[in-house]
Amino acid sequence: MQMYDIICKKKTNKELSTEEINWLVKEFTAGNISDAQMTAFLMAVYFNSMTERETLDLTLAMEHSGDVLDLSSIDKITVDKHSTGGVGDKTTLFIAPTVASLGVKVPKMSGRGLGHTGGTIDKLESIEGFNTSLSFDEFSDVVKSVGCAVVGQTGKLTPADKKIYALRDVTATVDSIPLIASSIMSKKLATGNSCILLDVKCGSGAFMKDKESAKALADTMVKIGNNAGRNCAALITDMTKPLGRAIGNSLEVIEAAEALKGKEKGEFFDLCIELSANMLSLAGKGTPEECAVMAKEAVESGKAFNKFKEMISAQGGSPEVVEDYKLFKQPKFIHEVYADKSGIVTCNDCEAIGLVSLSLGAGRTVKDAPIDHSAGVYLDKLCGERVEKGEKIATLYSSIDCDMAKIGERFSSVYQITDTNLV
């Protein structure tokens, strides 16, 4: 087989065979295909897309390029949730313990933040001692005894995706639906869960900026999951504004803890209940409506919050931090943002708010760079809320040497106040 012929075939919009796709993934992972040829292929996919069969083949080839986890010793049914990423998305911290408290196992592998989006692993690491690098046996033991565990991905899963994603990142070929879907689903399939709920974010803070592309991505991923023998479903959820009030690592753990205690009721809580309900439903616990009632009861009874504390303890952290938030590393600098007029709070650019949090130290622009767990943005006023001149709309936190006033100005240019007469 020749890579040249495969590139020509995709360039002229012909369908590749399963053998050709398996070959190119295997040879590229082994270092036998140059980045130049792989880039030409990826660009041809970008312009000509892939059929459903090709996309499934690409996913399966990437899934089997490294280790594939066998979770059957944990339980026959295990459930995962994947979010396509956004600003202030701390839902995993809520849904993992809530679903586990209702008897469904959640062995969860999550990522770190990069660019304007945060990562669950960074959030959990704001809890001193919390170990996100458990061995597979330790991970299985925690899931078996507690019901849920959240760890980072092992280095041996989907090496093909790692290499291809790195190339896509620098060749402007990330935003292709078959490439995104196969990249995400190869990792989800390799982690071995029998049920997968996808939370496809849509809006200015997400990969998918409009409803049509979010729906196309969701449909493609659900088809891959179901064709690969998993029980898979997707929700399309809003990312035109940050999710909840907190953006930044320890701030988000605190907000999730408040929601698990039943103290924080709003859009973030509602989304967490919807996601938990759909995960429970995929695992066969009832209709999403019945499961939503169960999830709310788990919060009201304290079961979900207790499960969160059990998970923190089992992974080496001290559960007292979610009782006494002063035990988190405290920020050195605080900058408050006040309304310069009365009106309605409006978010013009959700991604830009993620970038504000990043420049306060909460995120990273380079993979594996250190971050400031205490940094971030707290939205005292949410989008759509009325604010009077002089009221506080947000608080910025940081422990790094940065120009807080200037960052505050940048924040105000995207988190604006719209004149009520114009609304």
Least separation in angstroms between CB 373 and ligand URA: 23
SS3 at position 375: coil
The yes or no reply on residue 180 touching ligand URA (CB under 6 A) is yes
**Rounded to whole angstroms, how far apart are CA atoms 323 and 14?**
59
**Rounded to whole angstroms, how far apart are CA atoms 131 and 121?**
9
Kindly tell me which of 183 and 357 has the beta carbon lying closer to ligand URA: 183
Among the listed ranges 150-158, 179-187, 248-256, 405-413, the one in contact with ligand URA (CB under 6 A) is: 179-187
| Six token digits for residue 350 | 């959700």
| Six token digits for residue 324 | 């006494």
The yes or no reply on residue 25 touching ligand URA (CB under 6 A) is no
Clarify whether 82 is annotated catalytic. yes
Clarify whether 187 is annotated catalytic. yes
Least separation in angstroms between CB 344 and ligand URA: 33
CA dihedral 367, 378, 339, 389 (to 10 degrees): 170
Catalytic annotation, pick one of 57, 80, 89, 161: 161
**Rounded to whole angstroms, how far apart are CA atoms 30 and 37?**
14
The yes or no reply on residue 377 touching ligand URA (CB under 6 A) is no
The yes or no reply on residue 167 touching ligand URA (CB under 6 A) is no
Kindly tell me which of 120 and 183 has the beta carbon lying closer to ligand URA: 183
Query: Given phi > 0 = left and psi -120 to 50 = alpha, else beta, which region is 262?
Result: left
Task: Single out the residue of 60, 106, 184, 259 in contact with ligand URA (rule: CB under 6 A).
Answer: 184
Residue closest to ligand URA (Cβ): 183
* One-letter amino acid for residue 4 of the chain: Y
Among the listed ranges 42-50, 132-140, 177-185, 215-223, the one in contact with ligand URA (CB under 6 A) is: 177-185
Least separation in angstroms between CB 115 and ligand URA: 11
Work out the burial of residue 370: count CB atoms within 10 Å of its CB; fewer than 13 is exposed, 13-18 middle, 19 or more buried.
exposed
Beta carbons of 175 and 139 less than 8 angstroms apart: no
Among the listed ranges 180-188, 222-230, 328-336, 413-421, the one in contact with ligand URA (CB under 6 A) is: 180-188
Q: Print the binding letters for residues 47-86 with ligand URA: x by CB under 6 A, - otherwise.
A: ----------------------------------------
- Helix-helix angle 35-48:177-190, to 10 degrees: 110
The yes or no reply on residue 185 touching ligand URA (CB under 6 A) is no
163-165-170 Cα angle (round to 5):
105
Radius of gyration of the chain (CA): 22
Least separation in angstroms between CB 341 and ligand URA: 39
The yes or no reply on residue 120 touching ligand URA (CB under 6 A) is no
SS3 at position 198: strand
Least separation in angstroms between CB 114 and ligand URA: 10
The yes or no reply on residue 183 touching ligand URA (CB under 6 A) is yes
Beta carbons of 126 and 247 less than 8 angstroms apart: no
Kindly tell me which of 155 and 289 has the beta carbon lying closer to ligand URA: 155
Least separation in angstroms between CB 168 and ligand URA: 7
Kindly tell me which of 111 and 286 has the beta carbon lying closer to ligand URA: 111
Least separation in angstroms between CB 201 and ligand URA: 11
- Three-class HEC string of 34-46: CHHHHHHHHHHHH
**Which residue(s) pair with 418 in the sheet?**
344
Kindly tell me which of 165 and 333 has the beta carbon lying closer to ligand URA: 165
Among the listed ranges 138-146, 172-180, 251-259, 363-371, the one in contact with ligand URA (CB under 6 A) is: 172-180
239-242-247 Cα angle (round to 5):
140
**Rounded to whole angstroms, how far apart are CA atoms 305 and 302?**
5
The yes or no reply on residue 158 touching ligand URA (CB under 6 A) is no
Comparing CA positions, the residue from 162, 164, 159 lying closest to residue 45 is 164
Clarify whether 307 is annotated catalytic. no
Residues annotated as part of the active site:
82, 161, 168, 183, 187
Residues in the site for ligand URA, rule: CB under 6 A?
A: 165, 174, 179-180, 183-184
